[in-house]
Amino acid sequence: MKINPFFLVALCLIISSCTNTSEKDLIEQINPTEPITYSEHIKPVFDSNCITCHSSPAINGAGVSLTTYNNVKNSIENTNLIDRINWQPGQGGFMPLGGSRLPQNLIDLIMQWQSEGFVE
């Protein structure tokens, strides 16, 4: 049986594109011509790093809940969220409290989302 080499190449591409999505892959998959959106890119970051305390309602003394688009947008606009994730662990007010600093590419992603006008 003869196998068309183009078919093989296509098959390899299909297989290699079907991996599961970690936060790192998420960044690599970002299409630079599409805006950063809350639902696709931003929510997963907050869900995995912040909502253990910033749930709805917030627990452990965390002032605001960060579970919805409006929560996160309001917190960036009014409660210093961007500064807090940019500080170093150990500095007063650093977030995530008691955790390690978010990877720089995720911090950049959140700031890019802000500068693009908080696309939902």
Return residues touching ligand HEC (CB under 6 A).
Answer: 49-50, 52-54, 60-64, 75, 79-81, 84-85, 93, 95-99, 102
Are the C-beta atoms of residues 94 and 11 closer than 8 Å to each other?
A: no
Amino acid residing at 80? N
**Closer CB to ligand HEC, 10 or 82, in the complex:** 82
Q: How far is the CB of 28 from ligand HEC (least distance, A)?
A: 21
Give min distance, CB of 5 to ligand HEC, in A: 47
Please say which residue, 64 or 109, places its beta carbon nearer to ligand HEC.
64
Q: From the CB of 16, what's the least distance to ligand HEC, in Å?
A: 31
Buried b / exposed e along 35-57 (16+ C-beta atoms within 10 A): ebebeebbbebbeebbbebbeee
35 or 87: CB nearest ligand HEC: 87
Minimum distance of ligand HEC from residue 102's CB (angstroms): 6
End-to-end CA distance of the chain: 51
Which CB, 54 or 73, lies closer to ligand HEC? 54
Q: Are 90 and 98 in contact (CB under 8 A)?
A: no
- Contact status, residue 101 vs residue 88, Cβ threshold 8 Å: yes
